[in-house]
Structure 1
Amino acid sequence: MTAPTVFKVRASSWGSLFDCAYKFEWETLLGKGKAAGVRALLGTALHASTAVNDTALVQGKQVKASDSAGVLVDTLNHPEFDVDYRADDLSVRDAERIGLSLHAMYCALIAPTMGYTDVETALDPMDIDCGGGIIVTLTGRMDRARVSKTASGFVIPDLKSGRAVITQGQANTKGRSAQLGAYQLLYDHTKGVRTSGAQIVALSTTTKPAVAVSPVFDARRVMVGGDGTPGLIEYAADMFRSGLFPPNPQSTLCSKKYCARWDHCHFHE
Structure 2
Amino acid sequence: MNIVTIRASSLAELFDCPARWEAKHILGMRMPSSGASHLGTAVHAGTAAFDQAVLDGAPITADDAAAAVVDSIHDKDAEVDWEDSDPATAERIALALHTRYCVEIAPRQHYIGVEVKCERLEIPELGLALTGTTDRVRTTEAGAGISDLKTGGRAVGTDGVAVTAGHGPQLGVYELLAEHAMGIPISAPAQIVGMNTGKTAAGQRVGTGEIESPRTALLGTEDQPGLLQHASRLIQSGAFYGNGKSFLCSAKYCPRHATCPYKS
**TM-score, normalization by structure 1:** 0.90
CA gap of 1:104–1:237, structure 2 versus 1, over 3 A, is: same
Alignment of 1:114-263 (within 5 A): 114-130=109-125, 135-142=127-134, 145-169=135-159, 170-196=161-187, 197-207=189-199, 208-226=203-221, 228-263=223-258
CA gap of 1:79–1:116, structure 2 versus 1, over 3 A, is: farther
Alignment of 1:85-100 (within 5 A): 85-86=82-83, 89-100=84-95
Letter in 2 for 1:99: A
Identity of aligned residues (%): 37
Query: Which stretches in structure 1 are left out of the alignment for 5+ residues?
Result: none
CA gap of 1:217–1:33, structure 2 versus 1, over 3 A, is: farther
Contact 1:41 1:79 in 2 (8 A): no
Aligned Cα root-mean-square deviation (Å):
1.7
Q: Which moved more, 1:191-200 or 1:64-73?
A: 191-200
Among candidates 19, 23, 30, match of residue 22 of structure 1: 19
CA distance in 1, matches of 2:260, 2:33: 20
CA gap of 1:268–1:167, structure 2 versus 1, over 3 A, is: farther
CA distance in 2, matches of 1:231, 1:158: 22
Contact 1:166 1:212 in 2 (8 A): yes
CA distance in 2, matches of 1:78, 1:214: 31
CA distance in 2, matches of 1:140, 1:215: 21
Secondary structure at 2:80's aligned position in 1? Answer: coil
Secondary structure at 1:226's aligned position in 2? Answer: coil
Letter in 1 for 2:54: L
For residue 105 of structure 2, what is the aligned residue in structure 1?
110
Residues 48-67 of structure 1 show CA distances to partners (whole Å, capped at 9, x for unaligned) of 01000010111233332101
CA shift at 1:124, angstroms? 4.3
CA shift at 1:151, angstroms? 0.5
CA distance in 1, matches of 2:37, 2:140: 31
CA distance in 1, matches of 2:237, 2:46: 41
Give structure 1 regions of 4+ aligned residues with deviation exceeding 4 angstroms: none
CA shift at 1:227, angstroms? 6.2
**TM-score, normalization by structure 2:** 0.92
For residue 80 of structure 1, what is the aligned residue in structure 2?
77
Residues 219-252 of structure 1 show CA distances to partners (whole Å, capped at 9, x for unaligned) of 1112101362211011011112211123222322
For residue 42 of structure 2, what is the aligned residue in structure 1?
45
CA shift at 1:130, angstroms? 4.9
Count of residues in Structure 1 that have an aligned counterpart in Structure 2: 259
CA distance in 1, matches of 2:34, 2:236: 34
CA distance in 2, matches of 1:14, 1:41: 20
Letter in 2 for 1:200: I
CA distance in 2, matches of 1:192, 1:102: 32
Among candidates 26, 30, 35, match of residue 33 of structure 1: 30
Contact 1:130 1:240 in 2 (8 A): no
Q: Which moved more, 1:203-212 or 1:240-249?
A: 240-249
CA distance in 2, matches of 1:79, 1:151: 43
Secondary structure at 1:206's aligned position in 2? Answer: coil
CA shift at 1:6, angstroms? 2.4
